[in-house]
């Protein structure tokens, strides 16, 4: 008894010490709400992808972002409950016109970030810089050893004079003979400025770095290699080969896959899950991706909630255990969708929005999770120099779309090899996740899967998928007998038929002959 | 007493013909359900937009869902330029435009009320019913002919059919036109009217309108082409035989035209649903079956999925991926080969169709208006005796339908043979009508299954119960008139 008490006390002390020695990377308990106000979605140039990318990167910094179009802003909305405010001028021709917002922002004492043109005099004086507008330029962005040539810009507001107290992230330089250099991201105390926001490439990396620094959320993360667009209709042989390739090359990876809520009794489904078990056994982790929203009919979220319960139960039954949930960014901006899918998991993977976005109950009031991977396509980093020392400031998933044919597979394999990065390793980097629904509790700890409190061993599937899933027709004991019996009966009836026909023929001859005159 | 009854019947029959009696009864029975508030009709299953938007009618905004639960009575009429070009070419537009005109004349220029739609079909329908009864009983006014008129009322005033009038479905148009087509042919066969050309014109106009009413009606051009062959056998008709041949050509071309007008998106939807609602159904596990046909077995998981998914889709069926890896492979040829290799499954699907023949009243949508103290989606039971009886007792086997068709054709081919020999034409016209109707009964299920699987199956089969009812009525009238095989006795035949 005494021994037990001592060990209990020891355990408590040890766990308290653990808490102090490993502080969390981000202090989630503190205020983490951010207000994002933009001028216009700019549908003409499809620049709403920039808003989506900004929202997702903020979520990955564990910030809860509330997004407003400027016309929806009412006086007093920006208050001390917010840690910071971000102004985004997405469409220069529209610009900021809401005076209530501009006044509230000027007097706001928290962190302030301005993205895009139309800096006001107050902002300029608060940043303590001088700016100027330059026109029709194609600039080069440099950060450390990396360089990227930016797309041609009609006009851009750059900082020409800075203060010693501020610091800059990334350098913009012109391509003219007398090359001029301007800071790209600029931070002065609680004030920050980015001349534009782009949703890809080096600019995106530098932007997130700058924003993370401004909000003191910058960390050091290795990217997670993620295969996206995996569905039950994917070429499973290719998926199996790809996972084997990663395993053999010791590349840890993740897949983001959708599942079905019906027909889970079919062979096609067991074949799908068999390949996914192989993925798990080869060091891959699985994110369960949300389905495509076809209509906003599910206004109370019952359907999507039920779908998710079915996805998870049917997958878990076949020993496929998702570690988190992945979705397009807009799912986090929609109350019904978020509450009935993302909230089940404490690890999210947010991908860029596809072309068609259908909301069920849009609230633009994003929540954050324990850790959210920011999804960006690996190919968007093609022009960025990478090495095994390359780090990201936020948890990042570099995505590669699932190949179909052998040729595409080989292309993807060479792409992965050429990326030459040190990948995030769920086992070595001690990923701990949990996914809880009303019926199922899944946990992932250090490479182990724990289901409802019990550690699960995952049975590998046979290498020959087709062999494993034979037709499955059981041959009944008497089936041969019945078949033979049926044949005998058929022959019997045919004989009777023929005999009858002969009798009829003979009979009618006799009958007619009786009337024939002789 | 007996004498009194007899004299009163004679007096009654002098003033009221069977046709008039039947028409009045249909008018009263269906008029009550359609127009006496609270009115009845069919709620929107989500298809109304196809017919209303191109006609300049839109849904008024409401706080509640306008789908499935209750009949919506009020719609808005667009006041400005309608940018929704005619998405689906259809003769239904004609009916809607008449209703719209009446609505603007008598009710409102901004609000469309569904009763006007019902009124248009209702009036056309009554005319058709009068012609039909007249064609079947003229010139007799015996008690048994009144009985026949009542049988027609029982069948054609059934609420399962008339409820369609207060809706934007295409089916009521098909019902009305079908009644006109049959009435025209029977009138010609029994020589009810002294002039033939009005009925011939009526037949061809109704046929073309029926075929162009809905794109799925395209194959019916063949069935009605067969019916029209009968007209060629009318006597003293040489000059007009050319005109009839031209009419048949127009019917066939209208079928081809409406078939060609099917847009690529609808073709995609049909190709997909033939697969997900057809080849994957009525079988254990289709994974290996479709793999044998060269399609990735994983697509078996799409069983029962709609092209236009109602809520969420694992993989959007209209995505390029599905197009490339599934729909490019499962064309018409593939479907035919698949069903040939899996005849048992195909037979099961046809039985599924046969079961749906009796389901005329769509169960998925409500029949009542909001605020009528009825549950959402509740069904009307008023005057549905005939359709409920058929629903309960008609065997749901495709083989039975085929036997029925063979039976009808066999019975009427005797009349055809006899009339052919004795140079009469009633039996010939009647035979081709029955033959055409039976081709509908036999082939429409096959075309529907191959064309769109079991998606919307009951609605695709809408003409089959009407064809069967018509054949039954013709049969009963021939028994009553003693003209089944011996058309010489028919007094109408001059």
| Confidence category of residue B494, pLDDT binned at 50, 70, 90 | very low
The sign one gets for the Cα dihedral B4, B8, B11, B14 is negative
d(CA B262, CA B260) in angstroms, rounded, equals: 5
Which residues on A lie below 8 Å from B301 (Cβ)? 232-233, 260, 262-263, 266, 268-269, 272
Cross-chain residue pair A263–B312, CB shorter than 8 Å: no
d(CA A493, CA B446) in angstroms, rounded, equals: 30
Half-sphere exposure of A424 (CA within 13 A, CB side): 23
d(CA B315, CA B332) in angstroms, rounded, equals: 23
Half-sphere exposure of A356 (CA within 13 A, CB side): 10
Tell me what the mean pLDDT of segment B143-159 comes to. Answer: 94
**What is the 8-class DSSP label of residue B372?**
S
Q: Give the H or E element holding residue B416.
A: helix B398-421
d(CA B171, CA B165) in angstroms, rounded, equals: 9
Query: Dihedral angle at the C-alpha atoms of A283, A423, A150, A85, nearest 10 degrees?
Result: 90
Which residues on A lie below 8 Å from B312 (Cβ)? 291-294, 298, 303-304, 307
The sign one gets for the Cα dihedral A353, A354, A356, A358 is negative
Beta bridge partners of A167: A187
Q: Is the peptide bond before A460 cis (omega within 30 degrees of 0)?
A: no
* C-alpha distance from A338 to closest chain B C-alpha (Å): 14
Cross-chain residue pair B300–A307, CB shorter than 8 Å: no
d(CA B452, CA A90) in angstroms, rounded, equals: 46
**Each residue of A397-425: pLDDT tens digit?**
999 999 999 999 999 999 999 888 899 99
Cross-chain residue pair A269–B297, CB shorter than 8 Å: no
Q: How many beta-carbon contacts under 8 Å exist across A and B?
A: 91
End-to-end CA distance of chain A: 126
Which residues on B lie below 8 Å from A269 (Cβ)? 301
Query: Dihedral angle at the C-alpha atoms of B244, B249, B252, B254, nearest 10 degrees?
Result: -100
A236 interface with B at CB cutoff 8 Å: yes
Which residues on B lie below 8 Å from A272 (Cβ)? 298, 301
Angle between helices B426-452 and B463-481 (to 10 degrees): 160
B83 interface with A at CB cutoff 8 Å: no
d(CA B173, CA B175) in angstroms, rounded, equals: 5
Q: Which of B303, B311, B315 sits opposite A303 (nearest CB)?
A: B311
* C-alpha distance from A323 to closest chain B C-alpha (Å): 19
Q: Which of B286, B301, B322 sits opposite A232 (nearest CB)?
A: B301
Q: Which of A197, A201, A195, A200 is nearest to A183 (CA)?
A: A195
Cβ neighbours around A494 below 10 Å, total: 10
Q: Can you give the C-alpha Rg of chain B in angstroms?
A: 24
Three-class SS state of A73: coil
List of chain A residues with pLDDT < 70: 1-30, 43-44, 461-480, 482, 517-518
* SS3 of chain A: helix, strand, coil, percent, to 5: 35, 25, 40
- Whole-model pTM? 0.81
CA max distance for chain A? 137
Q: Which of A393, A400, A327 is nearest to A366 (CA)?
A: A327
Q: Which of A262, A268, A304 sits opposite B298 (nearest CB)?
A: A268
Pick the residue from chain A with its C-alpha nearest to B289. Answer: A471
B308 interface with A at CB cutoff 8 Å: yes
Q: Give the H or E element holding residue A443.
A: strand A441-445
Cβ neighbours around A459 below 10 Å, total: 10
Which residues on A lie below 8 Å from B283 (Cβ)? none
Q: Which of B35, B334, B279 is nearest to B163 (CA)?
A: B35
d(CA A395, CA A349) in angstroms, rounded, equals: 9
**What is the 8-class DSSP label of residue B300?**
G
Instruction: Check: CB of residue A172 under 8 Å from CB of residue A139.
Output: yes
**Each residue of A204-233: pLDDT tens digit?**
999 999 999 999 999 999 999 999 999 999
Q: Which of B287, B299, B312 sits opposite A304 (nearest CB)?
A: B312
Cross-chain residue pair B311–A234, CB shorter than 8 Å: no
Cross-chain residue pair A266–B311, CB shorter than 8 Å: no
Cross-chain residue pair B286–A236, CB shorter than 8 Å: no
Tell me what the mean pLDDT of segment B100-122 comes to. Answer: 94
Write the CB contacts of A171 (distance below 8 Å, at least 6 apart in sequence): A141, A142, A143, A181, A182, A183, A184
Cross-chain residue pair B301–A271, CB shorter than 8 Å: no
Which residues on A lie below 8 Å from B281 (Cβ)? none
Interface test with B, best of A229, A240, A276, A292 (most B CBs within 10 A): A292
Beta bridge partners of A147: A142
Q: Which of B288, B308, B312 sits opposite A471 (nearest CB)?
A: B288
A471 interface with B at CB cutoff 8 Å: yes
pLDDT of residue A214: 94
Which residues on B lie below 8 Å from A472 (Cβ)? 285
pLDDT of residue A472: 43
Q: Which of B199, B206, B149, B160 is nearest to B179 (CA)?
A: B206
CA max distance for chain B? 81
Which residues on A lie below 8 Å from B322 (Cβ)? 233
Its ipTM equals 0.79
End-to-end CA distance of chain B: 37
Pick the residue from chain A with its C-alpha nearest to B326. Answer: A233
Query: Dihedral angle at the C-alpha atoms of B62, A299, A81, A22, nearest 10 degrees?
Result: -170
pLDDT of residue B5: 86
B325 interface with A at CB cutoff 8 Å: yes
Q: Are strands A284-289 and A253-257 parallel, antiparallel or unpaired?
A: parallel
pLDDT of residue B396: 85
Share of chain B above pLDDT 90, in %: 50
The sign one gets for the Cα dihedral A420, A426, A428, A430 is positive
B265 interface with A at CB cutoff 8 Å: no
**Each residue of B440-480: pLDDT tens digit?**
999 999 999 998 888 888 888 999 999 999 999 999 999 98
Write the CB contacts of A488 (distance below 8 Å, at least 6 apart in sequence): none
pLDDT of residue A24: 35
Q: Which of A291, A297, A307 sits opposite B310 (nearest CB)?
A: A297
**What is the 8-class DSSP label of residue B326?**
I
Higher pLDDT, B398 or B82: B398
* C-alpha distance from B275 to closest chain A C-alpha (Å): 15
* C-alpha distance from B283 to closest chain A C-alpha (Å): 11
pLDDT of residue A471: 44
Residues in chain B: 494
**Each residue of B83-107: pLDDT tens digit?**
666 555 688 999 999 999 999 999 9
């Amino acid at each position: 008894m005494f021994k037990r008490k001592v060990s209990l006390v020891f355990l408590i002390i040890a766990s308290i010490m653990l808490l102090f020695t490993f502080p969390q990377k981000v202090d989630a308990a503190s205020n983490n709400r951010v207000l994002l106000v933009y001028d216009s979605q700019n549908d003409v140039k499809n620049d709403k992808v920039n808003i989506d990318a900004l929202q997702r990167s903020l979520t990955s910094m564990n910030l809860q972002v509330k997004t407003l179009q400027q016309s929806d802003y009412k006086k007093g909305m920006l208050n001390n409950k917010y840690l910071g405010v971000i102004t985004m001028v997405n469409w220069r021709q529209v610009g900021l016109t809401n005076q209530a917002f501009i006044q509230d922002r000027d007097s706001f004492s928290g962190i302030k970030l301005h993205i895009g043109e139309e800096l006001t005099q107050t902002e300029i004086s608060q940043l303590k810089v001088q700016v100027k507008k330059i026109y029709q330029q194609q600039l080069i962005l440099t950060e450390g050893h990396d360089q990227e040539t930016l797309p041609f810009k009609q006009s851009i507001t750059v900082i020409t004079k800075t203060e010693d107290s501020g610091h800059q992230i990334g350098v913009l330089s012109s391509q003219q003979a007398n090359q001029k250099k301007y800071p790209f991201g600029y931070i002065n105390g609680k004030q920050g400025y980015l001349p534009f926001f782009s949703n890809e490439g080096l600019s995106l990396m530098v932007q997130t770095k700058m924003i993370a620094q401004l909000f003191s959320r910058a960390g050091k993360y290795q990217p997670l290699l993620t295969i996206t667009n995996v569905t039950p209709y994917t070429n499973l042989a290719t998926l199996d080969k790809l996972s084997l390739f990663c395993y053999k090359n010791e590349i840890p990876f993740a897949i983001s896959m959708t599942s079905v809520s019906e027909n889970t009794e079919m062979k096609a489904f067991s074949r799908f899950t068999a390949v996914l078990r192989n993925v798990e056994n080869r060091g891959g982790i699985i994110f369960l991706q949300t389905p495509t929203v076809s209509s906003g009919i599910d206004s109370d979220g019952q359907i999507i909630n039920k779908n998710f319960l079915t996805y998870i139960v049917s997958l878990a039954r076949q020993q496929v255990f998702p570690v988190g949930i992945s979705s397009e960014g807009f799912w986090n901006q929609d109350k019904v969708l978020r509450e009935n899918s993302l909230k089940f998991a404490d690890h999210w993977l947010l991908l860029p929005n596809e072309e068609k976005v259908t909301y069920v109950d849009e609230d633009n009031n994003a929540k954050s999770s324990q850790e959210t991977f920011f999804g960006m396509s690996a190919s968007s980093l093609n022009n960025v120099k990478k090495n095994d020392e390359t780090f990201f400031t936020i948890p990042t998933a570099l995505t590669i779309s699932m190949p179909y044919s052998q040729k595409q597979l080989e292309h993807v394999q060479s792409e992965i090899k050429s990326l030459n990065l040190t990948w995030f390793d769920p086992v070595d980097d001690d990923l701990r996740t949990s996914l809880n629904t009303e019926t199922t509790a899944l946990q992932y700890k250090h490479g182990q899967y724990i289901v409802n409190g019990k550690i699960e061993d995952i049975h590998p599937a046979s290498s020959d998928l087709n062999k494993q899933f034979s037709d499955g027709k059981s041959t009944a004991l008497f089936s041969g007998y019945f078949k033979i019996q049926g044949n005998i009966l058929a022959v019997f009836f045919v004989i009777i038929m023929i005999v009858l026909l002969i009798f009829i023929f003979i009979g009618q001859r006799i009958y007619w002959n009786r009337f024939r005159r002789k | 007493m007996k004498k009194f009854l007899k004299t009163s019947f004679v007096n009654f029959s002098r003033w009221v013909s069977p046709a008039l009696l039947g028409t009045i009864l249909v008018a009263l029975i269906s008029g009550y359900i359609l127009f006496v508030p609270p009115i009845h009709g069919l709620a929107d299953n989500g298809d109304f937009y196809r017919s209303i938007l191109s006609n300049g009618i839109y849904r008024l905004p409401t706080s509640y869902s306008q789908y499935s639960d209750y009949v919506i009575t009020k719609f808005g009429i667009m006041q400005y330029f309608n940018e929704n070009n005619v998405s689906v070419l259809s003769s239904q537009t004609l009916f809607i435009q008449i209703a719209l005109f009446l609505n603007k004349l008598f009710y409102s220029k901004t609000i469309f009320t569904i009763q006007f739609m019902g009124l248009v079909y209702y009036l056309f329908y009554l005319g058709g019913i009068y012609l039909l009864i007249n064609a079947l009983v003229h010139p007799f006014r015996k008690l048994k002919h009144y009985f026949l008129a009542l049988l027609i009322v029982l069948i054609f005033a059934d609420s399962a059919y008339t409820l369609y009038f207060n809706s934007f479905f295409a089916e009521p148009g098909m019902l009305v036109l079908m009644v006109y087509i049959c009435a025209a042919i029977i009138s010609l066969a029994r020589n009810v009217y002294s002039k033939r050309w009005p009925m011939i014109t009526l037949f061809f106009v109704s046929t073309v309108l029926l075929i162009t009413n809905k794109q799925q009606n395209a194959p019916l051009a063949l069935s009605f082409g067969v019916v029209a062959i009968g007209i060629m056998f009318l006597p003293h008709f040489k000059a007009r035989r050319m005109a009839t041949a031209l009419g048949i050509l127009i019917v066939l071309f209208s079928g081809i035209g409406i078939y060609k007008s099917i847009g690529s998106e609808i073709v995609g939807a049909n190709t997909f649903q033939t697969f997900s609602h057809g080849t994957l159904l009525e079988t254990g596990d289709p994974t290996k079956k479709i793999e044998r046909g060269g399609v990735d077995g994983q697509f078996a998981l799409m069983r029962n999925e709609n092209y236009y998914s109602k809520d969420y889709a694992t993989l959007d069926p209209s995505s390029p991926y599905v197009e490339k890896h599934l729909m490019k492979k499962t064309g018409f040829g593939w479907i035919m080969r698949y069903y040939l290799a899996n005849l048992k499954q195909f037979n099961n699907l046809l039985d599924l169709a046969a079961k749906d023949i009796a389901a005329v009243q769509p169960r998925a949508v409500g029949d009542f208006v909001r605020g009528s103290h009825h549950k959402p989606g509740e069904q009307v039971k008023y005057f549905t005796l005939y359709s409920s009886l058929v629903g309960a007792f008609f065997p749901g086997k495709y083989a039975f339908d085929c036997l029925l068709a063979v039976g009808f054709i066999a019975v009427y081919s005797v009349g055809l043979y006899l009339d052919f020999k004795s140079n009469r034409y009633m039996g010939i016209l009647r035979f081709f009508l029955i033959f055409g109707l039976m081709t509908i009964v036999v082939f429409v299920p096959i075309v529907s299954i191959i064309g769109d699987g079991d998606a919307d199956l009951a609605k695709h089969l809408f003409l089959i119960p009407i064809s069967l009812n018509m054949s039954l009525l013709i049969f009963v009238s021939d028994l009553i008139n003693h003209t089944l095989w011996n058309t010489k006795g028919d007094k109408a035949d001059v």
